[in-house]
A and B are shown apart, each in its own frame.
Chain A
């Protein structure tokens, strides 16, 4: 039986150990901000923080993260996450919106590790997050804006 801390709350998981964390989060814990896009870690829509690092929940068997601290888009409240979300709103980054939870989680994780990312840093950190609406121009600008806001 897997136990997790999800967004600060301890939970015991009923799903089998080999069920992907994504479906546990969405179906069992009813946290639907985390999205399904490919199921093979190619698009990043399912990105969540596992023990402080971004992780693709669609290929993470829930049993493999037993005892971990999970943070989903619903509880992203670090200064970096707030700066990212503020920049996202200012630049109207989302179009359809489906991938944006994953984009925001990845962007916040980038800023936690690299306070002033270069374009190359952004490419490296964000290339795993597909946006089919191709909001990439605004994602890049919003990350730079969020970094500037955190400095300011």
Chain B
């Protein structure tokens, strides 16, 4: 697979292809990624990479190893190449890399994948080196052609130039000659002070096609003779088929076949409309003996009771028990967080064409190599006979980063059950999406805090109860020691100086599958810790901003800077309530990016109305501020709608109660606050931006709400907290 793909790649048309050997030197930075890093990805390991193509028509195409689903890697990674290449922005293009675990490994994961807000962080040096190498080879080619010294050649705005002789050439005209030059091993990179494109609001590469309906996603793929397939899955998560009756379904015009696959009953049809109509006429009996049949209330009660079980201590300093028993004042609170669906706008889907023992696949795969492997295995053809097209995807928020290659398995089972060659498009509906599991884990936090007579926080204990996302999956590399940081990240390594602290994790199991959901553990830890801290500060008579600043450890300069900046742009004056508006603050680092937010909230019919959110963010070098602002705006909208409205609940017998957007309600334009973003200037290497905007919004709103109404919301969403 590896070698074949590399040959295919290198032989795609004329022009300059840069193949580079770059060290896999970077290690995991965030807690989530640390577990993903395999022991065998050691310092100094080498793997060939190929990221830049320059065509005779003067276009420069970057091969993007990260899936584009709105978070901006096409634009961001193209910026890195263009910067070091001294290209013009209008000559830049981006395409998705094929599945190739070696060439296109995420340097933090050790396998090809997008997640953990790592696209920019792990590509920053790699893509700059790819651009710098291309530039060096173009310069070498020009020097050879013009017979002038290398050092006299300059490159700017997509043009190679020799001032003294007045000669110049476009990249495209030099491409073939440049391809004959040797590849520099360690091309020199610019000093950040020389950046021309990095730091600019460059227009995104994919906006035009996405504004005109021309962008092609998985669901838009059509192949000759292709059938559309929908699958009837269980109403209760973990149930399996006992028996089914397809006679009525088969009478629907356009329905071609019905087959049982491990995932349920698959209906094959000539169109999506016919497939859906056919599926609605199936009768299926289910075996629920291995299913989750508890209701959400029962699960929550079980998790709450489990908080007093031993669990695993994941962080400890000082004697928190003694600190709490000696405290002048104490606060205890239990927080409940529901299961959540990611609900990307494009539901899950895939297209598979099988011909003469080879499969071509189109899907929005976040771990394309894992899916290719699963497909090759199910079809018995091996991964080397699977060609994966990683498509633009209509959102993901973690849903397409599958710890089980769920969609790869399902689409290949569909092909296998059909028998013989053919092409199939698997389509999920919104009901399939919301009832299909892989939720943000339902979580209970139990917090205890103690204050001394002066109002200093002397003790802090937090017990987190939930399922593990990574343990017992392929992500579990056997070095986890029974810990899964994605279950509690953000409740540990807090920036505050808490002298006696203990964080405990109690793992629970359920047939309900769970998965990372935009910002993963931070979705609940930021809320629990930042609202609990806010209450403690209030008990101590301290200002929410100054109280946090005073608590920050001395070396938490980046936390301090974003908190001070957000207070400045919001005009924070210590008044939590002004007229009918209240203001709440939250500070939270995730994925090595520092974010502070202040939310302005009023009471509209008993629910928070969020008018404006001020944000300060430090994500290192701001490669494209336009994309950073967009991700913060979007991350806030995503987190706000969820905190206000969303929970997936299991009713009687474990049946999922929210089936579509009428009951799993999305934030709408009239509910979106104004967002003002301040980006901290930084020379530090870039860190994540897709997720860090999400964690602080819910606690900022809750803190404002408590200031306004006196009610501490400890169960999300706000609608179910009886607000």
Residues of A within 8 A of B (CB): 15-16, 18-20, 23-24, 26-28, 30, 32-40, 42-43, 45, 72-74, 85, 88-89, 92-101, 104, 122-123, 126-140
Report how many A-B pairs have Cβ atoms within 8 Å.
Answer: 189
B residues 394-453 touching A (CB-CB < 8 Å): 394-397, 427, 429-431
Contacting pair B662 A42 (CB below 8 A): yes
Residues of B near A39 (CB, < 8 A) are 276, 429-431, 660
Q: Are B669 and A43 in contact (CB under 8 A)?
A: no
Residue B343 at the chain A interface, CB threshold 8 Å: yes
Partner among B347, B392, B394, B669 whose Cβ is within 8 Å of the Cβ of A123: B669
Nearest neighbor of A142 in chain B, beta-carbon distance: B211
Task: Contact check, B626 vs A19: say whether CB atoms are below 8 A apart.
Answer: no
**Chain B residues whose CB sits within 8 angstroms of the CB of A73 once the complex forms:** 212-213
Contacts of B276 in A (CB 8 A): 23, 39
CB pair B633–A89 under 8 Å, yes or no, is: no
Q: Is the interface of A mostly helix, strand, loop or mixed?
A: loop
**Known contacts A27-B228, A97-B392; is A134 also within 8 Å of B638 by CB?**
yes
Question: Which of B344, B394, B662 lies at the interface centre, i.e. has the most chain A CB atoms within 10 A of its CB?
Answer: B394
Please pick, from B272, B345, B430, the residue contacting A98 in the complex, using a CB distance under 8 A: B345
Q: In the complex, which of the residues A24, A37, A96 contacts B273, with contact meaning CB atoms closer than 8 Å?
A: A24
In the complex the two chains form, is B211's CB within 8 Å of A100's CB? yes
Would you call A133 and B70 a contact (CB within 8 A)? yes
- Interchain nearest-CB distance for A111 vs B (Å): 15
For B665, the closest partner residue in chain A by CB is A42
A19 to B344, CA, bound (A): 24
| Among A27, A33, A38, A127, contact of B272 (Cβ-Cβ < 8 Å) | A27
Q: Which 9 A-B pairs have the closest CB atoms?
A: A134-B637, A33-B213, A98-B394, A95-B70, A97-B210, A96-B70, A73-B213, A23-B273, A19-B273
* Residues of chain B contacted by A34 (CB below 8 angstroms): 213
- Further pairs besides A73-B213, A130-B666: 7, Cβ < 8 Å: A32-B219, A39-B431, A40-B662, A45-B345, A94-B211, A96-B392, A134-B641
Write the chain A residue with the least CB distance to B202. A92
Number of B residues, CB within 8 Å of A: 65
B203 at the interface (CB under 8 A from A): yes
Q: Is the pair B345, A130 in contact by a Cβ cutoff of 8 Å? A: yes
Chain A, Cβ-Cβ closest to B394: A98
**In the complex, what residues of A have CB within 8 A of residue B7's CB?**
none
Taking a contact as CB atoms under 8 Å apart, the answer to whether B638 and A132 are in contact is yes
Binds A, one of B36-44, B284-292, B476-484, B670-678: B670-678
A128 to B396, CA, bound (A): 21
Query: Are B220 and A32 in contact (CB-based, < 8 A)?
Result: yes
Question: Nearest residue in A to B219 (C-beta to C-beta)?
Answer: A36
24 A-B contacts (beta carbon < 8 Å)? A16-B274, A23-B272, A24-B273, A32-B219, A35-B394, A37-B345, A39-B276, A40-B660, A88-B207, A92-B207, A92-B630, A93-B207, A94-B207, A96-B70, A96-B392, A97-B392, A100-B211, A127-B668, A133-B637, A134-B635, A134-B636, A134-B672, A135-B630, A139-B669
Residue from the list A16, A23, A96, A140 in contact with B395, Cβ < 8 A: A96
Q: How far is the CB of B317 from chain A (nearest CB, A)?
A: 38
Q: Using Cβ atoms and an 8 Å threshold, which residues of chain B touch A32?
A: 213, 216, 219-220, 222
A2–B343 Cα distance when bound, in Å, is 34
Chain A residue at minimal CB-CB distance from B69: A96
A77 to B182, CA, bound (A): 50
CB pair B634 A133 closer than 8 Å: yes
How many angstroms between the C-alpha atoms of A126 and B662 in the bound complex? 17
Give the residue of A23, A28, A95, A100 whose beta carbon is less than 8 angstroms from that of B71.
A95
Which residues does chain A contribute within 8 Å of B254, judged by CB atoms? 15-16
How far apart are A70's CB and chain B's nearest CB, in angstroms?
14
Q: Which of B199-250 contact A (CB under 8 A)?
A: 203-204, 206-217, 219-220, 222, 228
* Minimum C-beta distance from B656 to chain A (A): 16
Known: A35-B346, A98-B345. A137 touches B211 (CB 8 A): no
Q: A40-B661, A98-B345, A140-B669 known; A134 and B633 CB under 8 Å?
A: yes
Chain B residues near A89 (CB-CB < 8 A): 203, 207-208, 211
